Amino acid sequence: MSMLKTKKRGSLIVISGTTCAGKGTVINKLLSRNDNLELSISYTSRKMRMGEKDGVDYYFITREEFENKIKNGDILEYDKVRYGEYFGTPKDKLEELLSTGKDVILEINVEGAKNIKKLIPDVILIFIVAPSMEEVKRRIKARGVETSEQILERFETAYREINEIPKYNYIVVNDDLDTAVEKVEAIIISEKCRVDRIEEISVENKEEIIHEFLMGKEYDNTVVKITDIDTKN
């Protein structure tokens, strides 16, 4: 019999990062290596692009449907980006995954992360960064799809987001993909060892243990709620 009984509910993990930090690549590798990890799929009001699939990349809905979901409280958090398109986290689908014990990753920006923290205080906030801004510049140029103005805009956004790092629980530098993935896995494992995730501790009455030990007998575990344990002594 295990001494500890931990909560069955899964952990919610928010992963954010600056432009070209490689957070999407880190997440994809995490998902491929961990069967208990799921990626939360967002609602969006933007049009589906070539190669995308509904229910895989996003849940594609109309702007009117999205706004109705906001009014009905069906969206946990959302953002309205340029051109008036919405992106948001489905409350019911997220709750369903967490209640089954699945650990769920949310890939959202800094503002979304702050909103989630207000709603779910025990969320795990992880920020992914590139080794340096020089490396960010190299990665952007290597893609070769942005104008100088767009690159500048990305840099300005990255610097604003870096100022928000103190609001996160963890920071992971993605200078090596495998190492970065292992660090995130270690964070998730360590969070599951937190005392506030324990529901019950099976402990033995102290006097009974001593008596049975002296008598050379075995003793049975008794279940004690963690809230019943005197933490002052």
pLDDT tens per residue across span 78-120? 988 767 899 999 999 999 999 999 999 999 989 889 999 999 9
pLDDT reported for residue 4: 58
Structurally, how many domains does the chain consist of? 2
Residue 106 and residue 13 in contact, taking contact as beta carbons nearer than 8 Å: yes
Give the 3-state secondary structure of residue 91.
helix
Q: Tell me, yes or no, whether 56 lies in a domain.
A: yes
Give the rounded distance of the alpha carbon of 187 from its chain centre. 11
Tokens, residue 124: 């795990």
In terms of domains, do 204 and 107 share one? no
Q: How confident is the model at residue 143 (pLDDT cuts 50, 70, 90)?
A: confident
Q: Tell me, yes or no, whether 233 lies in a domain.
A: no
The secondary structure element, H or E, covering residue 207 is helix 206-215
Is pLDDT of 225 > 80?
no
Q: How confident is the model at residue 149 (pLDDT cuts 50, 70, 90)?
A: confident
Report the predicted TM-score, pTM, of the whole model to 2 decimal places.
0.80
pLDDT reported for residue 228: 52
In terms of domains, do 100 and 167 share one? yes
Q: How confident is the model at residue 224 (pLDDT cuts 50, 70, 90)?
A: very low
In terms of domains, do 160 and 218 share one? no
Residue 106 and residue 150 in contact, taking contact as beta carbons nearer than 8 Å: no
Query: pLDDT tens across 33-75, in order?
Result: 999 999 999 999 999 989 999 999 999 999 999 999 999 999 9
Dihedral in degrees, nearest 10, Cα atoms 65, 68, 72, 76: 60
Query: pLDDT tens across 175-207, in order?
Result: 999 999 999 999 999 998 888 777 655 655 666
In terms of domains, do 119 and 40 share one? yes
In terms of domains, do 207 and 108 share one? no
In terms of domains, do 219 and 142 share one? no
Tokens, residue 84: 């008036």
Residue 64 and residue 86 in contact, taking contact as beta carbons nearer than 8 Å: no
Amino acid letter at 32? S
Residue with tokens 């002052």: 232
Share of the chain above pLDDT 70, in %: 81
Q: How far apart (Å, rounded) are the C-alpha atoms in residues 108 and 5?
A: 32
Q: How far apart (Å, rounded) are the C-alpha atoms in residues 200 and 227?
A: 8
Amino acid letter at 11? S
